[in-house]
Chains A and B, each alone.
Chain A
Amino acid sequence: MEDRPPHEAELVARAKRGEGGAYEEIVRRHQNIAFRTAWVITGSAADAEEAAQDAFVKAYRALGRFREGEPLRPWLLTIVANEARNRVRAAGRRERLVLRVAEERRPGGAVPSPEAALLDFERRDELLALVADLPENDRQAIACRYFLDLSEEETAAALGCPRGTVKSRLSRALGRLRERMEATDA
């Protein structure tokens, strides 16, 4: 019989019982999204790394309060995002988030993904520039919901606001992007 990877609820239960290996597996499964979410908030890879690392330590200490049966990722992202925001507050400033299209995704680079072929590269740069020009809150909402592909619930957790606020920020941000794209096309 083929071994299946342990279900997340099983890992959480084992981690709550003090099994370090189970928590390590949880960290490995979520470290990428945790780090990227922290980076979107802080704009700094060094701060994001520190925030994500401290968040996983704090999450472990708070694991006893995690309600079994609920999805772990939004809970983790709440802690990660708060750690990231605390660093921004402590520093008194936020690094400007620099969003770039990866070089290997550009024409002439390595083999483009099928998705890349769907989005004209000039159009991508233009869209990215428009996102970068959005107000901070709107840009973070777009980055979490679409660039990180978080669910609405996870986006709300990452932004520290209710889902209704996420919806309204996204709606406003998308409206602005459409307007500006139309203006550019005209």
Chain B
Amino acid sequence: MPELERSLTRLGQELDWPPTPDLAPRVMAGLDERRPARRRAFPIARRSLTLAFVALLLLAGAAFAALPGVRDAVLDFFGLEGATVERRTTLPPAPPAGPLELGTATTLDDAAGELGFTPLVPADPGAPDAVYVRRGLPGGELSLAYHARSGLPRARGTRLGLLVTEFRGDINPTYVGKVAGQATTVERLRVDGEPAIWLAGAPHYFFYRSPGGRFVETRLRIAQNVLLLERGGLLIRLEGASGRERALGIARSLR
């Protein structure tokens, strides 16, 4: 090693580094707070959950095989309770557009009785045009679909202007994965004091993950502009063609 590099390394040993705090006790306390199974039981039939889980696992292998590019170098990693966002050097080829597979159509009242949480609905734009429940994960997942209209431009590849999905991020900490390329804007925000991530610009993808970290959908889905936010233990995803300020306005109106 040349002299300058040696001098810099020695200098590093002589620096007045701030004292390192003992993080271990607080980290472990943080993990205990987030362990779900000890906190709450959910009104979901064990048999249907097991069947769903088995079906998802069968799909996982195909997903991996279809996505060779998804394991390229990670440039950035962002995390929320319930979702991770990775920015990578390259993205896999765009998947074909497919159905959204949001689960079973239902009503807001029925969904509220089925889910392991109280659904939140954005006061703006108000009542959704369709409601779906997906039962494949603890607590379930709610989707609120809004047709394109004035103030909600049509999102690429769908007839929808807005899709809001909600699930218990605190007990499904890495359920949603997002993969974005270098051209995608990924911005860390706070919405009403809680963490959020805004993704916009170039196409990016999302997929679901099993508790073991495996992909559990047959294909990645293209997403357009997305706001991911935490709200009291829920992970809420707002997808559409709306811009950042509009998405933030919708998020702040969640009740």
Q: Which residues of A are at the interface with B, using a C-beta cutoff of 8 A? A: 20, 23-24, 27-28, 31-32, 34-36, 39, 45, 48-49, 52-53, 56-58, 60-62, 64-65, 78-79, 82, 85-86, 89-90, 99-103, 105, 113, 115-116, 118-119, 123-124, 127-128, 131, 142-143, 146-149, 160-162, 174, 177-178, 181
Contact = CB atoms under 8 A, between A and B. Distances in A.
Q: Is the interface of A mostly helix, strand, loop or mixed?
A: helix
Interface in B44-95: 73-79, 84, 89
Given A28-B24, A36-B20, A174-B5, A115 B77 contact: no
Nearest to B74: A78
Contacts of A127: 7-8, 11
Nearest to A105: B14
14 contacts: A23-B28, A27-B23, A34-B23, A35-B21, A57-B34, A64-B174, A65-B174, A79-B77, A123-B7, A128-B11, A142-B8, A147-B11, A161-B75, A162-B75
B227 to A, nearest CB: 16
Nearest to A114: B10
A86 B212 CA distance: 27
Given A31-B22, A174-B5, A61 B174 contact: yes
B16 interface: yes
A90 B190 CA distance: 8
B4 to A, nearest CB: 6
Given A24-B24, A27-B23, A53-B23, A48 B18 contact: yes
A11 B17 CA distance: 28
Q: Is the interface of B mostly helix, strand, loop or mixed?
A: mixed
Interface residues on B, range: 35 or more
Given A20-B31, A90-B188, A49 B21 contact: yes
B11 A78 contact: no
B107 to A, nearest CB: 33
Contacts of A149: 9, 12
B11 A146 contact: yes
B174 A146 contact: no
Nearest to A121: B14
Nearest to B23: A31
Nearest to B197: A86
A78 to B, nearest CB: 6
A100 B77 contact: no
Contacts of B5: 146, 174
Contacts of A27: 23-24, 27-28
Interface string B174-190: 10000000000001111
